[in-house]
Structure 1
Amino acid sequence: MTDQPISINPHSAQPSSLQALARSLWRNRQLIVRMTRREVVGRYKGSAMGMAWSFFNPVFMLVVYTFVFSEIFKSRWGGVGANDSKTEFAVVLFVGMIVLNLFSEVINRAPGLILSNVNYVKKVVFPLEILPVISTGAALFHGLVSLGVLLGAFVIFNGYLHWTTIFIPLVLLPLVILTTGLSWMLASLGVFLRDVGQTVAIITTVLMFLSPVFYPVTAVPERFRPFIMANPLTFIIEQAREVLIWGHLPNFVGLSVYTLAAFVVAWIGYAWFQKTRKGFSDVL
């Protein structure tokens, strides 16, 4: 990229194939890394502790969860493979919160991505399609920090880690793909329909209670369980707990199907974004 902005025609058609997406991500890989780093660092700009907050925030939340649910509510998870320890509920809950926060952070920000980067639409040559990828990358960074805190706490509480922990990237990958695809779609819709941001915030709040974050799926009455299982977060949360907490192998068949569906959603979201982006400059 040059130092001076280059004028372009914002109404020009953009490629929407999977090959075009792959080429764009590869061609702009260094830009994505730099802007993701700037996104992460910028969140703590001006604070005395800076990036250290990305570590202390999940530590603080895990301490709160452990105290409240083990000492006040004296909650027990009671799931398969549970050891019924005092700290178990907090650790199991924290796994669900990591997955939920990864999804919610990206989705809640998506409707405002283009609105907050108007200059990229009208004045410079910029690959707008990488903005949702950057947002996902920043959320993934914070999710990985929280995951590190979780693993450290698990070792402190139990004295070991399950070897199946190595499968957690495989579990999270389809969620990352799905979330990025939805982000492309919502980023576009947010330009034309400003109410999308408010609607998405409500939906993610509802999903928090309709996901097995605070309760196991087995606690849901049979007649309502299909609705919980239809939630795209449910399967990932359950699989994350299987490999991190219970030490079980993931459901490889289920993850394969989920990943395929996530790729389809991602391609649809990307294609929608590319087809509608020529109208961004008329609205902004």
Structure 2
Amino acid sequence: MRQFSASPFEMFASLWRNRELIQVSTKRQVIGRYRGSVLGILWSFFNPLFMLVVYTFVFSEVFKARWNPGSDSKTEFALALFAGLIIFNLFAECINAAPSIILSNPNYVKKVVFPLEILPFVVFLSSLYHALISLAVWFTAYFIFFGIPHLTVFYLPLIIIPLGFFTMGLSWALASLGVFLRDVSQFIGVLTAVLMFMSPIFYPLASLPERYRHILYINPLTAAIEQVRDILFWGKAPDFTVLSIGWVLASVIAFLGFFWFQKTRNGFSDVL
């Protein structure tokens, strides 16, 4: 039985060693998502644009919603909501796909010597591509309605990178669990739906009574969503204490998820 390294160094070394395969696989996954459609990959731009228009109309015209009670801006709510939704979708797409990622590629397990550990990373890069397109739409809308974005947008990688570590750690763990427990994918679908409403996406965290806010902070996405909204829309620097804690916890989760995946992957072929 082959032994696979589960060290933190291998976690990065494998991604670097297989970088060309990752690039090709990511490109194939992104293009394959729109294969057969007339507009093709242009849908990756039109989808977030359409959703932004819908959010703007529904929340500003139908519900007359405002993110800040004293604000008269009709687009403020839509852009604040959309910023949070971009972060949530990046996380949710990866987590929802993770439990079935090995099950849907049995040939990689049985017949081909393939670095299985890169599969969750390919899904993450594909989701990141769509998140970046959505961000481009967000920046375009912000420029049209509010002008030049704040310089604090350059803090964005400091928030996205630990979110990526955290997402990858969970993806590796769920990819492995999904092989042995087929109910995991059903459970994760329900969990992400709950997380969407338990995250400050459709409402500001400050709108909740203070005694309930700690419940939302149990959700690991809360800090990322709030900080991304702060740097993109409000021009505030991130809380570096919270950010530092996030980097440490995300790194630990990434290593534990990778460790579990590497230690259990020899059993994949027996189950499949």
TM-score (norm 1): 0.94
User: Hey, what does 1:55 align to over in structure 2?
Assistant: 45
The answer on 1:215 being equivalent to 2:169 is no
Q: 1:35 aligns with which of 11, 25, 29?
A: 25
Query: Separation in 2 of the partners of 1:171 and 1:157?
Result: 25
Gaps of at least 5 residues in structure 1 are 1-10
Q: 1:153 aligns with which of 141, 146, 149?
A: 141
Q: 2:227 aligns with which of 239, 260, 264?
A: 239
Q: How does 1:7-156 map to 2 (within 5 A)?
A: 11-78=1-68, 83-156=71-144
Query: Separation in 2 of the partners of 1:84 and 1:196?
Result: 45
CA contact (8 A) 1:239 1:250 kept: yes
The answer on 1:168 being equivalent to 2:156 is yes
Offset at residue 155 of structure 1 (A)? 0.4
User: Hey, what does 1:200 align to over in structure 2?
Assistant: 188
1:239-271: CA deviations, max 9, x gaps? 001110001111122112101110100000000
- Return structure 1 stretches of 4+ with deviation > 2 angstroms: none
Offset at residue 222 of structure 1 (A)? 2.2
Offset at residue 83 of structure 1 (A)? 4.6
The answer on 1:184 being equivalent to 2:180 is no
The answer on 1:227 being equivalent to 2:210 is no
Query: Separation in 2 of the partners of 1:57 and 1:258?
Result: 30
Structure 1 residue identity aligned to 2:123: S
Offset at residue 66 of structure 1 (A)? 0.3
Query: Separation in 1 of the partners of 2:166 and 2:18?
Result: 21
Query: Separation in 2 of the partners of 1:102 and 1:18?
Result: 24
Gaps of at least 5 residues in structure 2 are none
Offset at residue 172 of structure 1 (A)? 1.2
Query: Separation in 2 of the partners of 1:20 and 1:209?
Result: 36
The percent of aligned pairs where both chains have the same amino acid is 57
Query: Separation in 2 of the partners of 1:15 and 1:78?
Result: 51
Structure 2 residue identity aligned to 1:240: V
The answer on 1:265 being equivalent to 2:253 is yes
Number of residue pairs matched?
272
1:143-188: CA deviations, max 9, x gaps? 0100110010000111221111111121111111100110000000
Query: Separation in 1 of the partners of 2:168 and 2:239?
Result: 23
Structure 1 residue identity aligned to 2:255: W
Q: What is the alpha-carbon root mean square deviation over aligned residues? A: 1.1
